[in-house]
Chain A
Amino acid sequence: MNVEYINPFINSTMNALTTMAFVTPVRGKPYLKSETDQTKVDISAIIGLAGEASGWVALAFPRAAAMKIASNMLGEQKLSLDSDVRDAVGEIVNMIAGGAKGDFSQKGLSFKIAIPTVVIGDSHILSQKKDVPCIVIPFTIDEGEFFIEVCLKAEKLQSAAGEQVTQSVNA
């Protein structure tokens, strides 16, 4: 997957979180997800994409980071992964996908966005489909490390190998 198709998700993640949750995450190095990846999270929001590019984007948090994001968005402290936190995390992934969709449309690639699904469960793992490459982008805030997973399949995305992802993603 070409880095050109990862940067819109990085940019929209930073934009959504700084604007709506008033945090400035530090981005780590993106990597191609392996089938043996056992990264565990407590809440994840997944949104499907369909069109000239298809697949999904997932936003996955440890408990404390999700509660911090939701607390800032809502202006009240959240102490558990309740319905408010679930809704807030779903809305953030919606904004991430929407923002990236706007960038992709300028590159001549269009897709539709589904309604997000949010999963809550202590230490769950996001598995991947074998035929769809997934790029993981780690981010860190004071409350912990969270992840964006971009799993996309499209003819126009096949021009570069996944290994390139680590080389030239925007700072």
Chain B
Amino acid sequence: MSDIRVLVVDDSSTMRRIIKNTLVKIGFANCFEAENGIDALAKLKEGGAGLILTDWNMPEMDGMTFVKSVRGSDTFKDIPIIMITTEAAKAEVVEALKQGVNDYIVKPFTPDALKEKVEKLFVAK
């Protein structure tokens, strides 16, 4: 798993750091960051990714628009995506899954919750 490039997208530098620290602990050391959807698409074009973790509410381009762009791209459409967001309402979770998010984590979350979701995704694959 350590070779997989993981893109962490969140407008909060605190959250990016917390997520990256957790990923490193569970064996995903090859992480790179983006502050919003536009930034994330640009970074993806530079070298792709094997996993994307993205927030929903971000300035410039939000996470849902970003997910739609990724799923609409011939190059990136198959990258697994986990949405990590404060949006906890059931309708939002359903909408995210409908748009092609593979899994969903509500903030606040524990490192174990993130670990479980990531590992489940790769075991499932």
Contact = CB atoms under 8 A, between A and B. Distances in A.
Determine the main DSSP class of B at the interface with A: loop
Interface in A67-101: 70, 73-75, 83-84, 87-88, 90-91, 94-95, 97-99, 101
Contacts of A115: 11, 57-59
Determine the main DSSP class of A at the interface with B: helix
Nearest to B16: A87
Interface residues of B, number: 23
Q: Assign chain A's interface to a size class.
A: 20 to 34
B86 A94 contact: yes
Contact of A110 (B14, B57, B89): B89
Contact of A102 (B11, B14, B88): B88
Interface of A: 15-16, 19-20, 70, 73-75, 83-84, 87-88, 90-91, 94-95, 97-99, 101-102, 105, 110, 113, 115
Interface of B: 11-15, 17-18, 21, 57-59, 85-91, 106-110
Nearest 8 pairs of A and B residues by beta carbon = A98-B86, A102-B88, A105-B89, A19-B108, A88-B14, A91-B12, A20-B108, A87-B14
